[in-house]
Amino acid sequence: MITGASSGIGAALAQRLAAHGAAVALAARRDEALRHVAERCGADAQPIVADVTRRDDVERIVHECIARFGRIDVWVNNAGQGLTRMPTELTDDDIDTMMRANVKSVIYGMQAVLPHFKERASGHIINISSMLGRVPSAVFRSAYSASKHYVDAITAMFREEVQQTHPGIQISLVSPGVVYTDFGLNARHGGVDSRRIPGGQTAEEVAAVIARVIDDRRPDVYTRPGAQRQIAEYYAAIGVDPG
């Protein structure tokens, strides 16, 4: 089950998994775009038009997946949105939008699928975060970066709680950097085209990393080599004492 599957990373992941024989359920708000992706994924793809910022829609996704396929093995919380605004200019609506799109959608997904996974004593949740969830380096992405810090923290704590009683359930975090999609263009208040930023990755490259995480079930993964070094260099540069 992949949210935010009508374009970008979600669409690339759906097509990659379908090409390797997986049955995929795809959720997004854009009906026509979602159905086009499902068509490219083949007969074992189920498009589900839904708004994952609504808890009842997310719960409906779970029911429709189980009705169609009998079970869910992997749930990918990929839906999200950017926002372009300096921190001193943020409004209540900006903050609420980021919380709904990037935080509540993740929490709703984890909570909705968890009873099914507990019943089976197995399952895998994958939350797509961002390097900006580790390094708040793009000031104009202030609220977005903060929302991804929240996702990083809640993923780790959700994993710790669940695995105390259900060690067969894994909750993974995947953190891309710049990805060459429409993310920047679709950001609230506008934004630079992500494809114009050097050093990024294609959606297909990120999808390949996520597919490997499905296989090896690693808990915390960056999609680009050298990400940990970049994080260490950032905090060293701003004078953080490592101990």
Beta-strand pair 45-49/74-77? unpaired
3-state secondary structure of 112: helix
| 58 closest CA partner among 9, 125, 118, 12 | 125
Q: pTM value?
A: 0.95
Q: In the structure encoding, which two tokens stand for residue 78, read together?
A: 């990929």
Q: Is the pLDDT of residue 128 over 90?
A: yes
235 is catalytic: no
Q: Is the pLDDT of residue 11 over 90?
A: yes
| 202 closest CA partner among 30, 29, 18, 16 | 16
Q: Which helix (H) or strand (E) holds 35?
A: helix 31-41
**240 band by pLDDT with thresholds 50, 70 and 90:** confident
Name the DSSP class of 85.
B
Give the C-alpha separation, 75 to 123, whole Å: 8
Query: Which listed residue (144, 150, 180, 222) is catalytic?
Result: 144
- Could you read off the pLDDT of 47-103 as tens digits, one per residue? 999 999 999 999 999 999 999 999 999 999 999 999 999 999 999 999 999 999 999
Q: Domains (ranges, CATH) in the chain? A: 2-237 (3.40.50.720)
Q: Is the pLDDT of residue 194 over 80?
A: yes
Q: In the structure encoding, which two tokens stand for residue 174, read together?
A: 């995947």
